[in-house]
Structure 1
Amino acid sequence: MSDVTVIGGGVAGLWAARACLAQGLRPRLVDRKGPPGPHGCSWWAGGMLAPFCEGALSEPAVVSHGKRAADMWSEVTEVTRRGTLVLAPERDRAEIQRFAARTEGHAACDADAIASLEPDLAPRHRRGLFFTDEAHLNPRQALHDLTQALAGEGVKVETTPLTPSEVAGPVIDCRGMAASADLAGLRAVRGEMILLRAPDVTLTRPIRLLHPRHPLYVVPRGSGIFMLGATQIESASRAKMTARSALELLSAAYALDPRFAEGEIVEMGADLRPAFANNLPGIVQRSAVLHLNGLFRHGFLMAPALAEQAAAFLATATTGDLFREN
């Protein structure tokens, strides 16, 4: 017998189920396509737990709540805490100054500091910012580990095609874009990524390369594999990656380190990230349904805190600062 039904088996739904258990609530977790996989937006994430960097374009709530993400994820999966290095091509060095002015928690880096952090990049980059308190994880491994942790508590993902209107009792709706008919203003933002095998390149932490038109982040996945991401296109198309996007990402990676040009493309992927008008995640309350949605580019960063607030509301009927009513 369950106390709450969680619909959606992506990063938000998995965390919602875990948070319910922490509140003494027994969740039923359902997803019509089953456990996490290529069918879900979470599968294509970068896995950066970078609240300070995200603060450059996000509201303070993303920074304050995102600071806890690394500690919360470390309870269920491996988290690498080596910070984030932000760089820019020399011709775009003003981007470094603008990024620094919009963020906190960083230290300025000269060529020697960059060489100490990432020796492979030393000859090519002379200015940067280092965010020492940021972290990253492998999102696919993290989804697997979180799914297994829930299974150990007796909560497995049921392959059931449910909608909130078909459920009697409390519901946490984590369906992402599938919930757009129930959430006015929810829009799709297309994101595309590339997995590249480049054994000649050694990076130990996420690198963000600033560019006025084509910003890039590179996340090491181990064994010479790097994730290049990500485009941000206002589109509801689920088409495969476009040639233009691939060229932009690969060109930016080449600008970071020319040895990426010899890399092997392992995988290209694209999916739709759900976003509200203000690009902030939130919980929308509609009768007995809590819609946990709008995670946009902050899924792995914000899902733990958002789920915690949703579960606390169900257990105590008190709202948190991420709630909104509809």
Structure 2
Amino acid sequence: MTLYSVIGAGVAGLSVATELAERGAQVQVFDPAGPPGPHGCSWWAGGMLAPWCEYENAEEPVLRFGQEAIGWWSKRTRVTKAGTLVVANKRDLPDMRRFARRTEGFTEVGREKVAALEPDLHGFGQGLFFEEEAHLDPRKALQDLYRGLVDRGVIFHKKIAPSGLENAIDCRGLSAREYLYDLRGVKGEMLIIRAPDVEITRPVRLLHPRIPLYIVPRGDGVYMLGATSIESEDSSRITARSMLELLSAAYALNPAFGEAEVLEIGVDLRPAFPDNLPRIRRLGRTIYANGLYRHGYLLAPALAKGVADLALHNIHSEMVDEDRA
């Protein structure tokens, strides 16, 4: 049986390894950092499976492929299907109307419905409710994929993959930039806070004149705040402006967030190609799967299926970059 070597144990690598193993392939995974953890940008994601919301500022494949992600992840980890609520302060309602024009799959809701969906939101008279969207806990999802692979007999090597591997699949993100010259890093910043006096049950996006911000519940009064996307490759620290925006967004949703405890601050670089869509390229004996940008959990399933189709059956999906492969 052919042995496939997946390089990288982030969301891309684990999803690819899962898809291959579930189709009966023999798989091994190399990552010098070991099992999933804070060393990977996948660890710091929001975990929103929100293809319709993301479509507001993304290309059509994000919407189409993203809709497949909810079912894919639901078979492998816990997915909460509670939808997404988009709100805006009164002065920013033009931003909400613009958001609505650029996407689909939502219902316009008024003050009573907003309050019924999220009683702990304060002062929002209008919103957009994307009922079919979902979310997951990224860290649990990574760990569930890892455990599922181990249970299938996949061997994880805590070391750099040796050169010259046959049937190698490189999912290393920015570390593969020496071969993927058009790959760039996009900085993402996030906070994890604990606010036991606030109960929000689904992802909420607060539209902002400069950048939309979101809050995702993780359970037990813990929330992830994020959505900063900065064209910078400095991952050493969070900016003061981003910290203020994230905390101000939470306070605008409910002043009780002002008493929240900051548990973690995360900064990392997301790999992205010029059009912010993922690519599959075959260069020599290696397949490269990369460029998930800010859509890691949303597009990893489609990326994994495309890699498996190419590796196992030489079927070229839409994500295969024919011009460079």
TM-score bin, normalised by smaller chain: over 0.9
* 1:100 and 2:116 are equivalent in the alignment: no
- Rounded to whole Å, the distance in 2 between the matches of 1:257 and 1:216 is 14
Which residue is equivalent to 2:315? 318
Partner of 1:252: 249
Q: Which amino acid aligns with 2:264?
A: E
- 1:2 deviation in Å? 5.2
Which residue of the partner structure matches residue 84 of structure 2? 84
State the SS of the aligned residue for 1:301.
helix
Task: Indicate if the aligned counterparts of 2:82 and 2:132 stay in contact, CA closer than 8 A.
Answer: yes
Q: In the alignment, which of 176, 187, 190 is matched to residue 190 of structure 1?
A: 187
Runs of 4+ in 1 over 3 A off after TM superposition: none
CA distance in 2, matches of 1:232, 1:22: 34
How many Å separate the matches in 2 of 1:167 and 1:114?
57
SS at match of 1:119: coil
Mapped to 2, the partners of 1:300 and 1:31 lie a distance apart of 19
Structure 2 equivalent of residue 70 of structure 1 = 70
* TM-score between the two structures when normalised by the length of structure 2: 0.97
Following the alignment from structure 2 to structure 1, what is the Cα–Cα distance between the partners of residues 284 and 105? 40
Distance in 1 separating the partners of 2:278 and 2:254? 34
Structure 1 residue aligned with 2:197: 200
Question: What does 1:168-187 align with in structure 2 at a 5 Å threshold?
Answer: 168-187=165-184
Partner of 2:17: 17
The separation in 1 between residues aligned to 2:165 and 2:138, in whole angstroms, is 33
Match of 2:124 in 1: 125
Q: Deviations over 1:260-298 (max 9, x none)?
A: 111111111100000000011121221222111000000
Residue 48 of structure 1 is matched in structure 2 by 48
For residues 187-266 of structure 1, what are the structure 2 equivalents within 5 Å? 187-266=184-263
Residues 214 and 248, structure 1, Cα contact 8 Å, conserved in 2: no
- C-alpha separation in 2, matches of 1:156 and 1:171: 14
User: What fraction of aligned residue pairs are identical, expressed as a percent?
Assistant: 51
- Indicate if the aligned counterparts of 2:183 and 2:273 stay in contact, CA closer than 8 A: yes
In the superposition, the TM-score normalised over structure 1's length comes to 0.97
Q: Is contact 2:21-2:149 (8 Å) kept?
A: no
- Confirm or deny: 8 A CA contact 1:199 1:223 kept in the other structure: yes
| Per-residue deviation, 1:244 | 2.1
Separation in 2, partners of 1:167, 1:225: 45
Residues 15-64 of structure 1: per-residue CA shift (max 9 Å, x gap): 11011113322111111111110100100000000011010111111111
Aligned residues of 1:199 and 1:225 also touching (Cα < 8 A): yes
Q: Which letter does structure 1 place at the counterpart of 2:136?
A: L
Is 1:297 aligned to 2:294, yes or no?
Answer: yes
Give the letter aligned to residue 311 of structure 1: A
CA contact (8 A) 1:214 1:252 kept: no
**Structure-1 separation of matches of 2:164 and 2:27:** 13
Q: Are 2:156 and 1:157 aligned? A: yes
Distance 1:187 1:227 in 2: 25
Given residue 51 of structure 2, which amino acid in structure 1 is its aligned partner? P
Task: State whether residues 214 and 249 of structure 1, in contact with CA within 8 Å, keep that contact through their aligned partners in structure 2.
Answer: no
Q: How many residues align?
A: 323
Q: Contact conserved, 1:55 with 1:63, CA < 8 A, in 2?
A: yes
- CA drift at 1:156: 3.4
Answer with 234-243 or 223-232: which moved more: 234-243
Amino acid at match of 1:146: L
Residue range with higher mean Cα deviation, 136-145 or 154-163: 154-163
- 8 Å Cα contact 2:27-2:155 kept in structure 1: no
